[in-house]
Amino acid sequence: MSTSKLLQGNEACAEGALYAGCTFFAGYPITPATEVAEYLARKLPFIGGVILQMEDEIASVGAIIGASLAGKKSMTATSGPGFSLKQENMGFGMLCEVPCVIVDVMRGGPSTGVPTGPSQSDIMQCKWGTHGDHPVICLTPAYVQEIFSETVRAFNLSERYRTPVIVVFDEVLAHMREKIEIPEKGVLPVENRRRPTCPPSEYKPFDETKGDVPPMADFFSGYRQHITGLNHASDGFPVNASPRIHTDEQRLIRKVEGNRKDIIRYETVMLDDAEVAIFAYGVSGRSGKNAVEMARAEGIKAGLFRPLTIWPFPEEEVAALASRVKAIIVPELSLGQIIFEVERCVKGQCKVEGIFRVDGDPINPTQILDKIKEVK
Amino acid sequence: MSFNYDQYIRGGKLPHIWCPGCTYGIVFKSLLRAVDSLKIPKDDIALVSGIGCASRLPGYVDWNTLHTTHGRAIPFATGLKMARPDKNVLVVSGDGDATAIGGNHFIHACRRNIDITVIVLNNFIYGMTGGQHSPTTPVGHLATTMPFGNIDPTFNIPELAKGAGATWVGRGTAYHVPALDKLIIGAIEHKGLSVLEIINACPTTHGRRNKFRSPTDMLLWMKDNFLPITAFGKLPPEKTAGKFPTGVLFKKEAPEYCDTYYGMVERLMKQKEKGA
C-alpha cells in the first residue's frame, strides 16, 4: 500500500531523500528551496538522522561530503546564489568521488535575481559550474511525483557511480502542490555504494583495476585512507604532472558518459509520427505536453521529448529525433542555454527554434502552440 | 627508549614538503606523541585540513585523513563528527586557512561547541603561495603583497576563538616542545570545541624578509617572547608589549553540540515510540 500525500515539490524532494535512506542533511536558508530543509528538520531527528543549518552554503556542502565519507547518505538543497557558492566543494566531491545529492531549485538570476520566480537558467552551471573537467549527473523532474522518484534515483545513481548527483527543478515545481503516492519501502529500489571486501592493507580508494567505480570505504571502518582534492594516484595520495592524471580524469568522465544507457531517462509524448517536436524539461516540459495535446486537437502532428536526465545530455536520442522531424522547438526559462546542446546534436538536420522567457513567469502552452504553428 | 614515529608515519610519504627551517615538523612530531599518549587507535581518529603548508600534514599520518578545500576543513570535519560522534576529529589549519578564507567556519564551530580539536599553525604568512600577508602578519612586516610594510590590523587567534564561544583555548609554540605535547593532549581531551594556536616560523617567506637572519632567530624570538600565562600575568603592564601568554588561556564547561543534538534525537525517538 502506498501512502497518498498532498505535497509541494520541495517536500516531495525531502520525502524522496528519506525514502532513499538519506540520514544527513546540511543546508542554509534560501528562497525558493528552504522548505526542503524545513521538512527534513521535522523528520530526520525521529529516525536518528542529522539536520544541520550551517553558517553558509559552502559549509553545507562541505558537511555533507564529510558525512558521506563517514558512510551516510547525505544531501543539501539550495538555489542560484547558493548553488554558485557550492561549486568549489562540489568539484571536490566529483574528484574525490564522494556520493551525495545536491538540489538546486532554480530562480531568476544572475545575482540575487528574482528569488520568488521560476527559472531554468542554471542548467549550464549544473554542467560546468565547478572548474576543471568533471563528471556530471543531473536530473530534471517536472511533476511533484517525479521530484520524489527522481530524488530517490539521484541517491541511487550517486551511490552506484560514487559521485555527487544534482537534482534541478524550479520555483514553480518547488511550491506547487500535487497529490503524490509514496510507495511502500521496497517498491522502489534503494542502492548502497559498493564497499571494499579486501583486507584494509590492500585497500586503495581509487583503484581503477577494480573497475571505473572503485569500492569506497567509510572513514573509521578500519580502512584508513587519505582523501585529497589534489589529483591523486589510486592510493589517494597526490600526484603532480603525470599521465595518471589524464587517465584518471578520463575514468571519472567515463563513469558517467560510459553509462549513458543506464543514466539517461526521458519521456516521449506522441513523438512517433510527429513532424514538430518539442524538447523541454522541468516546468517547460509540462507546458510542452499541454501544447502537444492542443496541437493534436487541431490535427497538427506535434510531439514532446522531455528529458528527466539532462546531464549527460541525451545526444543520440536528440540526433535521431532530428533526423525524422521538420523542426524541434526548445522552450526554456532562460535566454537560451539548453538550445545550444540541442543544436549541437541536431547538426543541422532540422530547424531548431527557441522560446525564451525570463520575466518570472513560466512559458504558457499557448506560446508553444503558436510556435508549433509557425514552424510546421 | 625513543619514541617510535614510524608507527604513525605512512610508508613512502616522506620527505615532507616543508622547507628547511620550517617548524611544522616539530609540531608534527608533537602531535604524534600527544595522540599516542592518549592511546587513541589509528582507526578512531580523523585529521582534516584545508589548503596551505599546514594542510599537507594529514597526508603523512596513518589515520583517517582528509585534505579538503581552502578554509573549509571545519565544515567537512563537522560532517564527519556529526556522522560519527564517537570518534576523534581533529583539524589542522594555518593562519590564513583558519582565520581568513575559513574565518566564518572557524567562529561558527566555536559557537556550536562541537567536540572538534582545531589546531592552527600560525606562521604569520601565506607560505605556500610565497609570502602574502595573512590576518596574523604583524603590522609593519614585509610581505609580497605588502611590499611597503603590512598596514592591516591583526587577529589574535585565541581571543577570536574565545569571543566566538570556544570552550578551550590555548597557545603553544614550536620552541616550547614539552609544553606543546601537553597542550595538544589537553586540547584533544577537552569535550567541546578546542582551539590551539601554535606559533610557528616560516623562514623562507616571512623570516628572511623581516630581519630574522636565520630560522634559529625565529625560534629564539619564540623563546624570549612567549611566556607561560602565569609568568605573563606577573609582568608589569609596561613590560607586556611584544610578549604573549602561552598555555591554556581559557577553559569553560558548556554543552557539547553532538551531545545536545543526539540528546534531542533520543528524546524525540522515545516520544515517537510512546506515541505509536
Within 8 A of B68 by CB-CB distance, chain A residues are: 62, 65, 89, 92, 229
Nearest to A69 among B44, B66, B72 (CB): B66
To the nearest whole angstrom, how far is the Cα of B212 from the nearest Cα of chain A? 33
Compute the mean pLDDT over every residue in chain B, rounded to the nearest whole number: 97
Yes or no, beta carbons of A224 and B105 under 8 Å apart: no
B99 vs B274, more confident: B99
What's the complex ipTM? 0.98
Distances (CA, A) of A111 to A60, A85, A129, A332: 20, 11, 15, 19
Three-state DSSP class for residue A55? coil
DSSP state of A339: H
Question: Pick from B10, B80, B268: which is nearest to A46 by CB?
Answer: B268
pLDDT score at B1: 65
Q: Which pLDDT score, from 0 to 100, does residue B275 have?
A: 83
Cell of B227: 611566556
What pTM was computed for the model?
0.98
When pLDDT is cut at 50, 70 and 90, the band that residue B276 belongs to is low
Q: Which residues of A touch B84 (CB under 8 A)?
A: 70, 219-220
Does the beta-carbon distance from A228 to B59 stay under 8 Å? Answer: yes
Closest CA in chain B for residue A228: B67
* Cβ–Cβ gap A50/B104 under 8 Å: no
- Nearest-Cα distance to chain A for B211, in Å, is 34
What is the C-alpha to C-alpha distance for residues B98 and B118, in angstroms, rounded to an integer? 9
The H or E element that residue A284 is part of is: helix A282-297
What's the CA gap between B243 and B248, in Å, rounded?
16
- Comparing CB atoms, the residue among B43, B67, B69 nearest residue A220 is B43
Cell numbers at A1, concatenated: 500500500
B67-80, pLDDT tens digit by residue? 999 999 999 999 99
The mean pLDDT value for A90-99 works out to 98
pLDDT tops 80 at residue B201: yes
Mean pLDDT of all residues in A46-67: 98
Residue A135 to residues A105, A117, A161, A171, B226, Cα–Cα distance (Å): 21, 29, 10, 26, 50
User: Nearest CB to A65: which of B44, B76, B84?
Assistant: B76
The pLDDT value recorded for residue B153 is 98
Establish how many alpha carbons lie within 13 A of residue B145's alpha carbon, considering only the half-sphere containing its beta carbon: 12
Chain B residues with CB within 8 Å of chain A CB = 10, 13, 42-44, 46, 48, 58-59, 62-69, 72, 74-84, 87, 104-105, 107-108, 261, 264-265, 268-269, 272
Q: Are residues B10 and A226, on separate chains, in Cβ contact within 8 Å?
A: yes
Sequence spans of domains, chain B: 5-275
In A256-368, DSSP assigns E strands to 266-269, 276-279, 302-307, 309-311, 327-332, 351-356
In this prediction, residues A275-285 reach a mean pLDDT of 98
Q: Domain segments of chain A: what residues?
A: 3-182, 200-260, 265-375
Say if CB B107 and CB B160 are below 8 A apart.
Answer: yes
**Crossing angle of helices B73-83/B257-275, nearest 10°?**
40
For B68, the closest of A64, A92, A219 (CB atoms) is A92
Question: What's the rounded mean pLDDT across residues A9-19?
Answer: 98
**B72:A62 CB<8 A:** yes
Between chains, do B46 and A225 touch, taking CB under 8 Å as contact?
no
Q: Which secondary-structure segment (H or E) carries A228?
A: strand A226-228
pLDDT number for residue A12: 98
What is d(CA B115, CA B123) in angstroms, rounded to the nearest whole number?
A: 25
- Is A265-375 in the same CATH topology as A3-182? yes
pLDDT of residue B16: 96
CB contact under 8 A, B79 and A74: yes
A35 class by beta-carbon count within 10 Å (0-12 exposed, 13-18 middle, 19+ buried): buried
User: In this structure, which long-range contacts are made by residues A289-298, counting pairs with CB atoms below 8 Å and at least 24 apart in sequence?
Assistant: A290/A365, A290/A368, A291/A365, A291/A366, A291/A368, A291/A369, A291/A372, A294/A365, A294/A366, A294/A369, A295/A369, A295/A372, A295/A373, A296/A270
DSSP conformational letter for A360: S
Look at A92 and B69 and tell me if their CB atoms are within 8 Å: yes
The chain B residue lying nearest A239, using CA atoms, is B13
**CA nearest to A95 within chain B:** B68
User: What single letter denotes the amino acid at residue A315?
Assistant: E
**How many Cα atoms are found within 13 Å in the side-chain-facing hemisphere of A34?**
6
- What local confidence, expressed as pLDDT, does residue B212 receive? 96
Q: Does pLDDT of A240 surpass 90?
A: no
Taking CA A282 as the corner, what is the angle to CA A279 and CA A285, rounded to the nearest 5 degrees? 40
Judged by CB atoms closer than 8 Å, whether chains meet at A224 and B62 is answered as: yes
Interchain proximity A229–B77, CB inside 8 Å? no
Residues of chain B with C-beta less than 8 angstroms from the C-beta of A89: 68-69, 72
What pLDDT does residue A1 have? 86
* Cα→Cα distances B64→A268, B29, B56, Å: 48, 17, 14
- C-alpha A134: how far from chain center: 14
Inter-axis angle of helices A57-69 and A80-95, to 10 degrees? Answer: 30
Which residues in chain B are closer than 8 Å to A219, comparing Cβ atoms? 46, 64, 66, 80, 84, 87
Spatial separation of the C-alpha atoms in residues A164 and A68, rounded to whole Å: 10
* Average pLDDT score over chain A: 98
What Cα–Cα distance (Å) separates residue B66 from each residue in A63, A221, A224, A301, B76? 13, 15, 11, 57, 9
Topology annotation, domain A3-182: Rossmann fold (3.40.50)
Question: Is A265-375 a domain of CATH 3.40.50.920?
Answer: yes
Are B59 and A238 in contact (CB < 8 Å)?
A: yes
CB contact under 8 A, B67 and A54: no
**DSSP string covering A181-227, please?**
EEPPTTTS---------S-GGG--TT-GGG-SS---PPTTSS---EE
Closest to A22 in 3D by CA, of A53, A43, A5: A43
Instruction: Of A144, A138, A142, give the one whose Cα is nearest residue A126.
Output: A138
Strand partners, B248: B170
pLDDT at A231 over 90: yes
Give the integer Cα–Cα distance in Å for A95 and A135.
9
pLDDT tens figures, B181-199: 999 999 999 999 999 999 9
Residue B132 neighbours by CB distance under 10 Å: 16
Q: What is the pLDDT of residue A241?
A: 81
Closest-approach residue (CA) in chain A for B8 = A224
Residue B264 CB neighbour total at 10 angstroms: 11
Residues of B in contact with A58 (CB under 8 A): 72, 75
Which residues in B24-38 are b (16+ Cβ under 10 Å) and which e?
bbbbbbbbbbbbeee
On chain B, the residues whose CB falls within 8 A of the CB of A221 are 43
| DSSP string computed for chain B | ----GGGTBPTT--S-SPPTT-SHHHHHHHHHHHHHHTT--GGGEEEEE-SSSGGGGGGGBSSEEEE-STT-HHHHHHHHHHH-TTSEEEEEEEHHIIIIITHHHHHHHHHHT-S-EEEEEE-SSBTTTT-B--TTSPTT--BTTBTT---S----HHHHHHHHT-SEEEEEESS-HHHHHHHHHHHHHSSS-EEEEEE---TTTTGGGTT--SHHHHHHHHHHHEEEHHHHHHS-GGG-TT-EEEEEEEE-----HHHHHHHHHHHHHHHHHHH-
Task: Flag whether pLDDT at B147 surpasses 80.
Answer: yes
Cβ contacts from A onto B, under 8 A: 130
- What's the CATH architecture for B5-275? 3-Layer(aba) Sandwich (3.40)
Rounded to whole angstroms, how far apart are CA atoms A50 and A61? 14
Reduce the secondary structure of A6-18 to three states and give it as a string. Answer: EEEHHHHHHHHHH
C-alpha span between A315 and A82 (Å, rounded): 29
